Every structure is written in C-alpha cells, then in structure tokens.
Structure 1
Amino acid sequence: MPLSSSPRAAAISVILRSMPCGLLSCGMIAHSLTYGLDYYYLEASSEAAHFGAGEQQGYGGFLQWQGDYENWLQVIAAMRYDGYQLDGETRTVPPQEASISGDRWSPRLTVGVTPFEGFQLYGTYSEGYRAPGLQDVFRGGGAHGGGDSYRPNLLLQPETAKNWEAGINVKYDDVLTAGDRLRAKVNVFHTDVEDYIDVDLTVLPRTAINIGDARLKGVEVEMVYDYNWGFVNLAGALIDAKVVSGVYSGQALSNTPLDRFSATIGFRMLEDQLTVGAQYLSVGKITRTSRTNPNAMPVVDDGFELVNVFANWRVNDNLKLDFGVDNVFNTAYTDPQSAWSTSAATEQGKGRTLKVAFTGRIGG
C-alpha cells in the first residue's frame, strides 16, 4: 500500500415517500422514490520504489422507484450510474504518467409476490461495476520497495457483474407465544463477473490484469426467532466461487466467503437492559490452490469451528457496555478471507480475543 494517503469521502442521499398523484398515478398503488449521490476522493504518494503518486475519484448516483399494489405485489426498479477518474505517475524508469477514466449505467429490477400474509416470493436481476484502484494501475517495482517484480498496468479495465437472485421471505408474529416473532429468508444467487481483476503470479514481472471471467453461485439461509426474553439466530451458506476463464480457470476465487453455518443464542434479563449469549461458527473445507502454478493439484484442508460469547449491558439511557470473547477455546485456524489461505496452511487466524467497548452520550 502507499506509505501515505489521505482519503476523503462524502455522500448525499434523499428519500421521498408518498409521491403526489399529480406526479405518479396513485390508484391502488403506493409509490416511493429514492435517489442519491455519492463521491469519494483518494490521494496517495510514496517514496518507495513500488508506487508513484496519484489520485482517484469515484462518483455515482442512483434513482429507485418502488410500487406496492395492494398487499400482494411489490416492484422495485432502479438505475445506478458509476464513474471514476485515475490520474498518476509510476516510479518506473522512465516514469509514466496516465489519466484513466470510465463510467457505466447499471440497472436493477426486483419483483416480489405475497400470495398470503407473511410469505413472499421474490426475484431480482441486477448489474454491478467495480473500477480498478490506484495500486492495481500504478504499482511497479519490488513488492517491498526493491527489485523489479511488479509492473504497472495502465490499460486495466473495470469489472462488470450480472447477478440473478430468487428467494423466499417469511415474517410471522405470535407463532408460539404472544409477542414472539419469526423471520426467515432463503436466497439463491448466480453472479457472472467479466474482466475480473487479480494479480498474475505465473510470470515475472507480475502485474494486475483482467485475468478472465468469474462465477459465484450458491444459497444462503437465515432464520431468527425472538421470544421476548431471548432469541435464536441460525444462518448458513453454500457458495461456489470460481474463475471460469483465463490463466486461473477452474481455481477458487480468493477472499470470498466459504461454506459456513452459525448458530447464535441470546438471553435478555434485568428488564431487557442486559443481553448475554453465545455463537457457534463452523466454516467448511478450504481448497488451497497455487497461484504461481495453476496446473498444480489443489490441497483441501478441513474447515474449523469457533465459539464466541458476548454480553451487552445498557446501564442507562446514556451509557452502554459491550463485552465479548471471540474464539473462546483458542482454536488455531487459517482465516479463509486471507491471501495466505490460498497458498499455505498458515494458522494465522486470531486466537482468543477479548473485546470491551463503552458507548456514552453526553448532554442527552
């Protein structure tokens, strides 16, 4: 990363509800319109030989319309605009200056049908856009400031994605006892990513390139049952994320969620001022592939299991205390979200971790 950087970001969003009939025909349809703008600016510089100086700007806006017909049909249509501008200089000899920009419109459409109260079926189609970053484009030189192991890529293209989702939402109250609540969701998704950005480690010097296309698909399930003096949360996911073309075709994507299951149980006491609970987390098998030799046989390691505990105490309206212990049994494991997980069974995951936080409000 750059030795020094100064990010600045700003966002603006406005929400409008209950649009007048003069603007949108009302009838039996309830309308809402949401729109917003966002902008960020990143400036970075370094004295090291692996990065030059540059600035990155990203900007965008969206417009979303939602219509609800009676109590059984919901339609959400949205359009988002994204743009970016990269200006910088490499530290190659001789230095290279570049100015790169791009933009894209991305649509989104969701249709939800509620055949009977508390049960909704939905489907979504959406597209996404991710611009390359300063490091992706201008990185050059040695990995730690020396040598010539990296080269900049001034022709790097943004990623684009097309995503399909379908699922079920369940929402019921007073299921087993008065005042309890049941919420559940099942979501199936399929995402195709074009021009996926990654570093090509098969050749020297290395560089960030659009290595090919990627595919992510899977199913996610979550259920929450709240029974006033306590709650149970169950969640699980089965995910297949792979590169489907290019030098890493067939390999698993790095830094993506793996198959997992979690169960959380909590109890409320002292008139709901104190909540205590525990969480069990199980992560499935980790497939380790070689980025330097894509033809090497992958190594599959067993996953891991963690137990976490937590407590939240609302002392009064102005003071809150949060306490937690992650990885209670100090399990050694490899974090599947780390780059190490794709190359070696390095057990660099956090051991037993104690967390304490005080949140206070002054002046009411």
Structure 2
Amino acid sequence: MSTHTTTARAPSRRRSGRQRRSATSAITTSPRPGFNLKNSSRFDAWELAHTLTYGLDYYYLEATSEAAHFGSGEQQGYGGFLQWQGDYSDWLQLIAAMRYDGYQLNGKTKTVPPAEASISGDRWSPRLTVGVTPLDGFQLYGTYSEGYRAPGLQDVYRGGGAHGGGDSYQPNLLLQPETAKNWEAGINLRYDDVLAAGDLFRAKVNVFHTAVEDYIDVDLTVLPRMAINIGDARLKGVEAEAVYDYGWGFANLAGALIDAKVVSGVYSGQTLNNTPLDRFSATVGFRMLEDQLTIGAQYLSVGKITRTSRTNPDAPVVVDDGFDLVNVFANWRINDYAKLDFSVDNVFNTAYTDPQSAWSTTAATEQGKGRTFKVALTGRIGG
C-alpha cells in the first residue's frame, strides 16, 4: 500500500546553516541533523529462539541553486521497521519484516511568479526469508522483499537549461516513487578451524531478480524535458563473496555479474543508467596491537561500461573499457565505546568515469573521484 499527494503551502523562511558546494551541478546544500536508531531484543519461546530488531531513521536536506534551477527546496525522509527472526534448532531460520517509508519535498514551480508546492508519499514494504541448513555449515535460503525509492529534489523541481537558461527542463509535481519487488535465492557456507585452530571461512552465492515499477529517469527525446516515470525496469544477476579469517589477518574476495534493463516505455530494451555493474574486488587486512588496530588494502575492478543514447533510443550502444582502483584503510578501536576510521580511496589518482553518474551515459568524461581521504570518529553509548 502506498500514497502520494501534492499540496500547496505558504512561503517559509529559509534556514541558515553551514554549506558545501557541488561543482558539477552548481547546487549549494545545507546539511541538517538526521538520526538512525536500532535495537534488538532476544528471548526463547515455543521451541524457537526469537530475535526482534526494530528501529527508526530520519534525514533532512536543504538545497539552493544559484546559477541554474537544479532542484531547490527542502527534502525530508523518515521511516521505521520491525523484524522478527525465529531459529528452530540448528536447521531452520525464519525472518519476517515490515518497513515503513515516508517523504516530504518542498520546492518551487517554474511559473511566473514562482509558486511553492509540496509533494509527499509513504509506503509499507514487507520482507520474508526462509533458510534451511541440511548439513552443518551449509545453508540454503530464499527471500522475497519489496523496496521503495522516493523522488529527490532534482527529480521533482529541476527547471531551466543546462547552464541556467532556456526552458529545456520543467519540474514534475506528479512524479511517483519507485517501487520494487525482489526475489533472491542462495547458499551460505560457514566453517571453522579449516586450516588452523581458530580460523574461519565464510562464503555466499546469491542470485536475484528485481522488478522495478515507475522507474525514474529524464526523457531526453522530447522538450521540455523533465524527470518522469519512464516505465518498468528489471535487474537480475549473481553475486558471490568469500572471506577467510585467520585471527591476525583476513582476505576477502567478492564479485558480481549484473544485467539491468528498461523493459517498458520509450527506453525499452536499453541498459539502465546509474546501476551496479560487473565488478570484482580483493581485500586483505592485518590486525595488530591486540586486535585494536586493523590496516588493509583493496583492489577494485569494474567491468566494461555500456553507454546508450537517451536522445535517440534507436542509436547503437557504445561499450567502453572498465577501470581499476586501489584503496587503503585503517581502523583503530580506541576503547569499547569509540572507534577511529581512516581511508584513502583511489590511491593512484586514476582517472575514470563513475558508471553510476549521469555523465557516464553520454561520454567517458573521467569525472570520477580522484585520490580521496576520509576520517570518521564513531562513538557508542551504553552496552
């Protein structure tokens, strides 16, 4: 069940705040506090080990555009979930969950004079998983789940040309959220003391099929342009991951082969924009200082990138080579309540095109992030 409404509202005073600039779209955003709360409760009853996990989350974002109307306004998202897990003996696992998502977008239309308008919506999304372990360490599972993606400020309120002039883009106050139905099946492997006492091996192979309704994209075949629900999409593929942990170090291998296409509408048959691609990664890490410090490195290889023409759906596709990146990281557990994380992404400053950016659909512009440093301090309250 889902709802979607559009309402008018009175003008509001713009809030002040710390700002950061996005050079690619001339947007200034003002971050606002958000939160993510989660807790679990465990008990035994009716020959089952029960685990209840529940939580709430919320975020707020404000954006303005000086050079062009790339989607100014306010965006809020909120939700909550409840998940039950029941384990019977060592061979049966059941998971049932329900998540609620809601959103509110406030922005301006491109009328003269501009008028403020709001859209909002919400939805309940279920999930069900059944896992069976016929042999020790060998589990078979199947999952059905549904997902929900609300439109963003640029999707709904973008107006004007690429550099602020003309009427090539129009807001779309009737844009609907995306909804998805997903089927998954796979195998989990869990073995201890494989090559030495205290080591462990974990592996997973997962196949999936996802059907997306009301997929959001810009229709570039007509003017004025706007983000619309272009039709339905389909994603399917296989993912695999293996981890070997030997106490003072670990190794991780992961890969995916994914096929994602539009299956209805003006772009039917074309590859989806901004979707995961075929990829492979290898990560190694080492622990020291009584496991308080972990350092490591990752090699990431992204496969060939398919580029399609959004202005001419019948044009031939262009396939470009993928790219390889090296990342390094360090995690320091200061004490039981605080952790410091440090990483350097793209150590060798490789020039590449991010396949999950809009630019990658038209040309190899090499606008992917260069060498990037990240630092995070995380604290925990309570046990």
**TM-score per shorter chain, which class?**
0.7 to 0.9
Q: What residue in structure 2 maps to residue 125 of structure 1?
A: 144
8 Å contact 1:319–1:358 — kept in the other structure?
A: no
Bigger radius of gyration: 1
SS of match in other structure, 1:136: helix
Report the alpha carbon displacement of residue 311 of structure 1 after superposing the two structures with TM.
5.4
Distance, in Å, in 2 between the alignment partners of 1:350 and 1:286 is 17
Correspondence 1:15 to 2:15 = no
Report the alpha carbon displacement of residue 176 of structure 1 after superposing the two structures with TM.
0.8
8 Å contact 2:351–2:368 — kept in the other structure?
A: yes
Report the alpha carbon displacement of residue 110 of structure 1 after superposing the two structures with TM.
0.6
Post-superposition Cα deviations, 1:262-292, rounded to whole Å, max 9, x if no partner, equal 1222344565566554433221111111122
Q: What residue in structure 2 maps to residue 3 of structure 1?
A: 28
Report the alpha carbon displacement of residue 12 of structure 1 after superposing the two structures with TM.
3.9
Post-superposition Cα deviations, 1:212-233, rounded to whole Å, max 9, x if no partner, equal 1111111110001012232211
Distance, in Å, in 1 between the alignment partners of 2:239 and 2:373 is 29
Report the alpha carbon displacement of residue 252 of structure 1 after superposing the two structures with TM.
1.4
Report the alpha carbon displacement of residue 316 of structure 1 after superposing the two structures with TM.
9.0
Correspondence 1:306 to 2:306 = no
Distance, in Å, in 2 between the alignment partners of 1:261 and 1:59 is 33
1:215 aligns with one of 193, 218, 234: 234
Correspondence 1:146 to 2:130 = no
Distance, in Å, in 1 between the alignment partners of 2:376 and 2:81 is 37
Correspondence 1:38 to 2:54 = no
The two structures have a TM-score, normalised by structure 1, of 0.86
Q: What residue in structure 2 maps to residue 203 of structure 1?
A: 222
Q: How many corresponding residue pairs?
A: 354
Question: How large is the RMSD of aligned CA atoms in angstroms?
Answer: 3.0
Distance, in Å, in 2 between the alignment partners of 1:309 and 1:87 is 40
Distance 1:284 1:51, change over 3 A: closer
8 Å contact 1:13–1:36 — kept in the other structure?
A: yes
1:229 aligns with one of 225, 233, 248: 248
Distance 1:329 1:98, change over 3 A: closer
8 Å contact 2:71–2:155 — kept in the other structure?
A: no
Post-superposition Cα deviations, 1:222-246, rounded to whole Å, max 9, x if no partner, equal 0010122322111111011111111
Distance 1:318 1:120, change over 3 A: closer
Q: What residue in structure 1 maps to residue 75 of structure 2?
A: 56
Q: What residue in structure 2 maps to residue 282 of structure 1?
A: 301
SS of match in other structure, 2:34: strand
Distance 1:67 1:326, change over 3 A: closer
Correspondence 1:159 to 2:209 = no
Correspondence 1:104 to 2:129 = no
Report the alpha carbon displacement of residue 172 of structure 1 after superposing the two structures with TM.
1.1
Distance, in Å, in 2 between the alignment partners of 1:173 and 1:250 is 46
1:177 aligns with one of 196, 209, 217: 196
8 Å contact 1:50–1:143 — kept in the other structure?
A: no
8 Å contact 1:6–1:43 — kept in the other structure?
A: yes
Distance 1:17 1:271, change over 3 A: closer
8 Å contact 2:71–2:153 — kept in the other structure?
A: no
Post-superposition Cα deviations, 1:135-172, rounded to whole Å, max 9, x if no partner, equal 22222123333221210111111111000111111111
Identity %: 81
SS of match in other structure, 2:259: strand
Report the alpha carbon displacement of residue 40 of structure 1 after superposing the two structures with TM.
3.3
Distance, in Å, in 1 between the alignment partners of 2:300 and 2:52 is 39
8 Å contact 1:158–1:195 — kept in the other structure?
A: yes
Correspondence 1:29 to 2:48 = yes
SS of match in other structure, 1:88: strand
SS of match in other structure, 2:155: helix
Distance 1:284 1:46, change over 3 A: closer
Distance 1:325 1:86, change over 3 A: closer
Structure 2 unaligned segments of length 5 or more: list them. Answer: 1-24
Q: What residue in structure 2 maps to residue 22 of structure 1?
A: none
Structure 1 unaligned segments of length 5 or more: list them. Answer: 20-25
| One-letter code aligned to 1:192 | A
Distance, in Å, in 2 between the alignment partners of 1:150 and 1:169 is 48
Distance 1:139 1:335, change over 3 A: closer
Q: What residue in structure 2 maps to residue 336 of structure 1?
A: 355
| One-letter code aligned to 1:200 | D
8 Å contact 1:50–1:146 — kept in the other structure?
A: no
Q: What residue in structure 1 maps to residue 266 of structure 2?
A: 247
Q: What residue in structure 2 maps to residue 186 of structure 1?
A: 205
Post-superposition Cα deviations, 1:98-153, rounded to whole Å, max 9, x if no partner, equal 33232222111011111122221111100111121222222212333322121011
Distance, in Å, in 2 between the alignment partners of 1:212 and 1:92 is 27
Q: What residue in structure 1 maps to residue 21 of structure 2?
A: none
